[in-house]
Amino acid sequence: MAIDLLLKQSAVRAVRNHAESAYPEEACGFLLSEPDRRSPHHRVSESRPARNAAIGLRRHRFAISADELREVEICVALRGQGVVGFYHSHPDTPAVPSELDLASAWPCFSNVIVTMNGRRAGELTAFELDSESRTPVPLRIRLEGDQGTPVNVVAPETLNPVGPWRDDGRNAVSIQVKLPGPLRPLAGGASVVAGAGTTVGEVLRSLVTVYPALERHLFLPGGKLRGSVAVYRNDEDIRGLEMERTPLHDGDTVSLVPSIAGGEPVTLDPTPTVPPTPPGASASTRSEPVLDADEMRRYSRHLLLPDVGVRGQKRLKAGRVLIVGSGGLGSPAALYLAAAGVGEIGLVDHDRIELSNLQRQILYSTSDVGRPKLEAASQRLQQLNPRVKVIQHASVLSSENALDIIRPYDVVVDGTDNFPTRYLVNDACVLLGKPNVYGSIHRFEGQASVFDASRGPCYRCLYPEPPPPDLVPSCAEGGVLGVLPGIIGMIQATEAVKILLGAGEPLVGRLLLYDALGMRFREFHLKKNPECVLCGEHPTQTGLIDYPAFCGVPAPSLAGSASPDLPSLTPEALHAELEGSDPPLLLDVREQQEWEIAHLPGAVLIPSRQLPDRVTELARARSVVVYCHSGNRSRRATRLLLDLGFTSVQNLEGGIDAWAQKVDPSMPRY
């Protein structure tokens, strides 16, 4: 037997009026009644509005604070009433419970939903959550006059809370949303979650209601989708459809593809560090080289391939490839390009080899630790193939020298680890008409594509803007599976060889995603953005820009060191303060796994991504010293605390790594 929900007309009028006055935000409130244990039905005699306590996006979510609930329960108890349910509105969406409604509903409480058609309140539906199965049970709404006389019945068939909901272009459908590795920790580790709605925008906003930590990654403060996250309906980029208004139907999936920057750190510098290099002819126009007998033997397996042969091998020998970053991605790419017989390989890097590099940077050995990377890389590649010419660019890449460094090469392989350099490489390649073989890695996942603006999209078409600096960790901050850059780097080498040969189908207009944990490859189609500022129909950017400023990061030369406008102290100074009578509070903003490697005694762990939501755990009156691994995350956390009104906050210069070097050499380094 269907359960009746008896609603007095005055309560219904109050609910509708509240919904109309709150539009376009969701209204919410309490359903009150005197207990009536003799009746199998629910009776609501009065409604009471509540304040929508949801943080942001109140057009698509509601929340009632625990304090207000307690106050109402005490108040109505004095009148012999109780809270028997809750109501809320659905602005411009049907009165059908979303998965968010079902997830937040309390068993044995009535839930009323009123739809809003513009500013006019529409139909009402109701349901109750079964206490054992936690499945929704439709309630049949009976309207009563204010004197208790029956008025009419709203049948439960108007509600279909289980789904999939009717796919008629109006009623919400349950949609699978696929999350990549970087976003999974924000959704309880799930790789696939459910959203509800009729459009992509509705589904994503329903998603952040259940998983609020996702909101900052997906939406700008004003509610607009971030340009640093590509959103796909099935395998179609919504930017080529109707953006957030892209309709969804039963069986569709939504995939989120955020920009990641994993690879090798290549620092940007505002000043040129190498003289301009004269331009060179392309592999297809410069004179055809000769293969001698030794080369015929060395490349014999290539020569047997119909798509390579002698002519193709000569094209490889005439080819010039620049690899930006000789680390995790650049190592396998350089080895395979040298083995393949690419005539000239340029390497851009200025770092020295560290012990932590050897877990994934296969160009180097233990005996190389401490050597300049380019020196060791050049030696290794010459040992592998003495016929290859290795050109060392032992410099930092900048807006002033990038065009001169890249110009002589036919193909650029991007193995960088940060967004300023990634945008710089992309922009220089677009301006010079060079194909950019893109690769990036993050923990257990990788991306690869070929950006060639002459026949497809560029990196800015995919990601018009970078993510906020603190949202995407580098390999040094977030870690990476050692074999992952080997796989992505080999894909990049494959694409570079194909481009030089003019063979096969390059990854132009395609984004390849690799999930090492699931051992799965997925492919998404990319389209040229006609509004791209660099390669669109009416470009507004005609040269290179200030990339650290564009990405909102400080100049890397200041990484870990003191900033003029930011209070900081050295490890030695912190050591002295900790020995004093009033030591500061130590705030560690690294991740849990980093904490387990090493941490300062007495420190409090609040990962930087959680700090905005957990800042109330810190005593404002106490002096605070913030630290991370090398000083980058702690600098941003220090700035946040100062902006929030903390008066005594300092950043530890160089982070815990500097502490281990200068104060406690017994501490493990990573």
User: In Å, how far from its chain's centre is CA 279?
Assistant: 38
CA atoms of 223 and 58, how far apart (whole Å): 10
Give me the catalytic one of 28, 429, 458, 628: 628
DSSP letter at 226 equals: P
Which among 109, 63, 55 has a CA at the least distance from the CA of 86? 109
Give CA–CA dist 499/410, Å, rounded. 9
Q: Are 247 and 169 in contact (CB under 8 A)?
A: yes
**Single-letter amino acid code for the residue at 459:** Y
What distance in Å separates the CA atoms of residue 578 and residue 569, rounded to the nearest whole number?
12
Nearest CA among 222, 240, 224 for reference residue 232: 240
H/E stretch holding 440: strand 436-442
Q: Dihedral angle at the C-alpha atoms of 351, 357, 360, 366, nearest 10 degrees? A: 110
- Would residue 108 show up in a list of annotated catalytic residues for this protein? no
DSSP character string of 37-85: TT-SSEEE-EEEEE----SS-TTS-----HHHHHHHHHHHHTTT-EEEE
d(CA 506, CA 313): 18
The packing angle between helices 330-340 and 484-501, to 10°, is: 40
Largest CA distance in the chain: 105
H helix or E strand, kind and range, residue 576 = helix 571-578
- Residues in a beta bridge with 258: 229
Query: What contacts 120, CB < 8 A, 6 or more positions away?
Result: 20
Distance from C-alpha of 64 to C-alpha of 70, rounded to nearest angstrom: 11
By three-state DSSP, how is residue 505 classified?
Answer: coil
Report the alpha-carbon distance of residue 560 to residue 634 in Å, rounded. 9
- Strand-by-strand arrangement of the 520-525 sheet: 389-393, 344-348, 320-324, 411-414, 436-442, 445-451, 510-515, 520-525
Cα gap 504→522, rounded to integer Å: 19
Which letter does DSSP use for residue 293 in this model?
Answer: H
Q: Is 475 a catalytic residue?
A: yes
Q: Is the dihedral of CA 295, 301, 304, 307 positive or negative?
A: negative
Instruction: Report the amino acid identity of residue 368.
Output: D
Distance from first CA to last CA of the chain, Å, rounded?
65
Total number of residues shown for the chain: 670
> φ, ψ for residue 538 (rounded to 5)?
-135, 75
Q: Is the distance from CB of 186 to CB of 152 less than 8 angstroms?
A: no
Locate 394 and state its tokens: 């032992």
DSSP string, 487-504: HHHHHHHHHHHHHHHT-S
Instruction: Please check whether residue 662 is in contact with residue 571, taking contact to mean a CB–CB distance below 8 angstroms.
Output: yes
Strands (E) across 267-372 are located at: 320-324, 344-348
The tokens describing 68, both together, are 């207000």
Return the beta strands (E) in 215-336 as ranges. 229-233, 236-237, 253-258, 320-324
Among 485, 274, 487, 264, CA closest to 391: 274
Which residue type sits at 438?
Answer: Y
The catalytic residue among 28, 429, 458, 475 is 475
Q: Which residues are catalytic?
A: 475, 628
